[in-house]
């Protein structure tokens, strides 16, 4: 039976299944360069909930329809049209934060930002929320808020610190100067950049590696890392050890035992060079 993912008429988002448990999630307003309006924020909250529970999805790839990844927040619908409408502003802002900082950043499934073009302003919070980011070399990034009279506020100001050095964040948020995918990779804002004609193939290659891993362990790995990185040493130690025990208890395929058995007893693989064999587990 088709799920709501397929049957609902989405206005600003869409999905595409790529096989191997990989689902592309599109910001889908190509005529507006995928600028994020309130509808997109609400729909992203809903569709990410559905993808989180979707059995066919093991990796979520966030990308943009057409020539842009996203031109950032929609200046007309998210900003100007909500001036004087505090209730509308509050709801849209809450949905914008919710999809970036909760439903994407802490999604139990691995997420990849596949940046296929422009990435401006509010797009950075979604970019940084994804676990891995791969961009075309000629993508254009920009903290462009300063260019139209605001600055990167809200949670964005905070998450810039997760992925940019103080020097880079200050320079680009104060000058609004655009930079390309190669520069974004050099600064480590993204994981890597590749020539445009290799973007999809490289993303699928990485996504396939993730989709072949034990999903319970993968989920614990990303959530534990993102949660622990701001704790002090003792808190992080306690929390990750407890999380690790919970993970082992929740893992139906008992990957830790299986991994050790296949290496130590059966000599079927080498953990340093690749994953234990779980063909029959998926
Ligand atoms: N908000 C609202 N509308 C936007 C938008 C945004 N952030 N970005 C693009 N659009 C709209 C344009 O108004 C235009 O609409 P129209 O066809 O009804 O006139 C359409 O998308 C295409 O934009 P256009 O500027 O003609 O496309 P382009 O390819 O020449 O340039 C950009 C693309 C992204 C460089 C340019 O649109 C731009 O600078 N956008 C704003 C980026 C930004 O600063 N975002 C930060 C927001 S926090």
What is the structure's pLDDT at 1?
A: 67
Give the atom of ligand 1 at the shortest distance from the alpha carbon of 147.
44
pTM of the model: 0.97
In the sheet where 68-70 sits, what is the strand order? 68-70, 118-120, 140-142, 179-180
Q: How far is the CA of 47 from the centre of ligand 1 (A)?
A: 24
- pLDDT computed for residue 70 by the predictor: 98
Q: How far is the CA of 120 from the centre of ligand 1 (A)?
A: 10
Tens-digit pLDDT string for the chain (282 aa): 678 999 999 999 999 999 999 999 999 999 999 999 999 999 999 999 999 999 999 999 999 999 999 999 999 999 999 999 999 999 999 999 999 999 999 999 999 999 999 999 999 999 999 999 999 999 999 999 999 999 999 889 889 999 999 999 999 999 999 999 999 999 999 999 999 999 999 999 999 999 999 999 999 999 999 999 999 999 999 999 999 999 999 999 999 999 999 999 999 999 999 999 997 554
- Of all protein residues, the one whose alpha carbon is nearest to atom 28 of ligand 1 is 33
Question: Hey, what CATH topology would domain 4-211 get?
Answer: 2-enoyl-CoA Hydratase; Chain A, domain 1 (3.90.226)
Q: Which residues pair with 120 in a beta bridge?
A: 142
Probe target for ligand 1 pocket from 38, 67, 71, with the most ligand atoms within 8 Å of CB: 71
Q: Of ligand 1's atoms, which has the minimum distance to the CA of residue 67?
A: 29
171 Cα to the center of ligand 1, angstroms: 23
Each as own residue / partner, the long-range contacts of residues 80-83 (CB below 8 Å, 24 or more positions apart, any chain) are 82/38
pLDDT at residue number 219? 97
Q: Kindly give the number of the ligand 1 atom that is closest to the alpha carbon of 122.
A: 48
Instruction: State how far the alpha carbon of 256 is from the alpha carbons of 29, 102, 205, 214, 248, in Å.
Output: 44, 28, 25, 10, 7
Enclosing H/E stretch for 141: strand 140-142
Rounded to the nearest whole angstrom, what is the distance from the C-alpha of residue 32 to the centroid of ligand 1?
6
Torsion sign, CA atoms 115, 107, 241, 254: negative
Scan for tokens 């929320």, then name that residue: 129
What is the per-residue pLDDT for 106? 97
What pLDDT does 253 receive?
Answer: 93
Task: Give the pLDDT of residue 279.
Answer: 75
Exposure pattern of 76-100 as b/e (b: 16+ CB <10 Å)?
Answer: ebbeebbeeeeeebeebbebbbbbb
Residue-level pLDDT at 281: 57
Q: Whose CA is nearest to atom 40 of ligand 1?
A: 71
* pLDDT at 2 (0 to 100): 76
């Amino acid at each position: 039976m088709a799920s709501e993912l397929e049957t609902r008429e989405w206005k600003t988002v869409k999905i595409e299944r790529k096989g191997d448990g990989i689902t592309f999630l599109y910001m889908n307003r190509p005529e507006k360069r995928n600028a994020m309006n309130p509808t997109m924020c609400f729909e992203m909250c809903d569709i990410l909930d559905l993808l989180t529970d979707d059995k066919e999805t093991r990796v979520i790839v966030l990308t943009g329809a057409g020539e842009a990844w996203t031109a950032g927040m929609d200046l007309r619908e998210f900003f100007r049209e909500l001036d004087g409408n505090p209730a509308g502003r509050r709801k849209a802002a809450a949905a914008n934060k919710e999809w970036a900082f909760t439903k994407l950043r802490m999604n139990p499934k691995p997420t990849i930002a596949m940046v296929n073009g422009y990435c401006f302003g509010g797009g950075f919070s979604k970019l940084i929320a994804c676990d891995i980011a791969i961009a075309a070399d000629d993508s254009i990034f920009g903290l462009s808020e300063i260019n139209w009279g605001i600055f990167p506020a809200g949670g964005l100001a905070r998450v810039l610190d997760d992925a940019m050095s103080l020097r880079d964040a200050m320079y680009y948020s104060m000058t609004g100067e655009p930079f390309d995918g190669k520069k974004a990779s050099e600064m480590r804002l993204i994981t890597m950049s590749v020539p445009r004609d290799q973007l999809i193939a490289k993303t699928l290659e990485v996504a396939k590696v993730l989709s072949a891993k034990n999903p319970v362990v993968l989920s614990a790995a990303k959530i534990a890392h993102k949660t622990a990185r701001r704790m002090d040493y003792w808190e992080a130690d306690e929390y990750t050890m407890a999380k690790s025990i919970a993970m082992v208890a929740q893992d139906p395929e008992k990957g830790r035992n299986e991994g050790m058995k296949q290496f130590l007893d059966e000599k079927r693989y080498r953990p340093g060079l690749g994953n234990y064999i779980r063909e029959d587990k998926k």
